[in-house]
Amino acid sequence: MTHIKNIGLFTSGGDAPGMNATIRAVVRAALFYDLEVTGIRRGFEGMINGDLFAMSRKTVSNIIQRGGTILKTARSEHFKTPEGRKLAFEQLQKFNVDALVAIGGDGTFAAAHIFGKEFNIPVIGLPGTIDNDLTGTDFTIGYDTAINTVMNAVDKIRDTAESHDRLFIVEVMGRDSGMIALRTGISSGAEAIVMPESKLSMDKLFDRLENGRKDKTSRIVIVSEGEGEEAGAFEVGRLVKEKFPNYDTRVSILGHIQRGGKPTCMDRVLASRVGVAAVEALMNGYRNEMVGVLNNEIAYTPLEHAIKKNTDTDATFLKIVEMLSL
C-alpha cells in the first residue's frame, strides 16, 4: 500500500457521456478509503491556472445520469511546454495533490504520461472517449451511449428516406477510427460503411449502390468524418450525386449530438467499475497505467501502450454489412 492521501481528478479532451458517472465513482471510492479528492476544472489548463477545489460526496450527488462533465474540459497548448507543466506541478503542490486520475482519450493519456514521468507523480488514466479507440479495454466510457444515439438518429432518418425514396449519406464522428460507423452501420441496416479502416473505395461503393436490390425505397450509407480526398459525408455525397443523378441523395451530419445525452446503463456501470478500480490501483502502487475492462475483468495497460490502438477492424463485421444489405 502507498501513502497517497490526496487524488487530483480531471477530465480532458472531448467530453463523453459517462464522464460524470466516472467522477462520482472516483470521488466516492476515495472517500470510502479515507482519501481526499481535489477536483481540477478544465483539464490541464485549469491545472496550470490553479482552478482546483476540494470535492465531497455532495459535490457528486445527482450526476450519474448527466451527460458532459461537471469538471469541464479544455485544450491546453501551454501544457505542451516544459514551462507549462512545471506551473501545473507547482499548483498541485499548493493543494497537496500527490496522485492524479485523468479521464479522457489518447491525447489526455499522452500528456499525462509525460507529466507523470517528469515529476514522478502517480497517474492513472480512465478511458473516457466516444471513439472506442484505446488499447486495453473492450469499450471506452461514452461509446455505448454514442452508438445508441447514432442508431436512434439513423432510424429516424430512415423514416424520411422511406417516405421520399431517398439515399442518405450520414456522417458520424470518428476521424481516425471507424468504430462508431461500424457498429451503427450494422445496427441501422446501412447499405455501406465508409471509414478509415475499411478502405472502401468510391468504385466499390458505387458498385454496391448500383448492384443492390432495385426495389429498395431507402438507402443509408454511414460515413466516418475524415480528412483528405473522398473524406466526409459532403464529399461522398457529391461523388454519389455525380455518379447517380437519378438518386434523390441527401447528406446528414449528426455532429455533436453524439457526445451528449444521458449515459446508458452500460456506460454507467463501466464508469463505476473503472472509477473504483482507479482509486484502488493508486493505493496498491500502480502508476502510469490505464484502467479498462477486458473480457469483463479489470485490466491495466501502460498509458504509452493504451494510446497505440491497432485500428484493424474485424473483417467479419464488414462482411456482415455486405451480406445483410443485399
DSSP state of 215: T
DSSP 110-169: HHHHHHHHHHT--EEEEEB-TT---TT-SS-BTHHHHHHHHHHHHHHHHHHHHHHTEEEE
Q: If you search the block for the grid coordinates 472516483, which residue do you land on?
A: 26
The x, y and z cell numbers of residue 49, run together, are 491556472
Confirm whether 131 is a catalytic residue.
Answer: yes
Quickly count: other Cβ atoms within 10 Å of residue 231's Cβ. Answer: 17
- Catalytic residue, from 106, 131, 133, 267: name it: 131
How distant is the alpha carbon of residue 65 from its chain centre? 17
Quickly count: other Cβ atoms within 10 Å of residue 242's Cβ. Answer: 9
Q: If you search the block for the grid coordinates 514521468, which residue do you land on?
A: 117
Partners of 11 in beta bridges: 103
Quickly count: other Cβ atoms within 10 Å of residue 310's Cβ. Answer: 8
How far is it, in rounded angstroms, from Cα 66 to Cα 261? 7
Q: Tell me which residues are annotated as active site.
A: 131
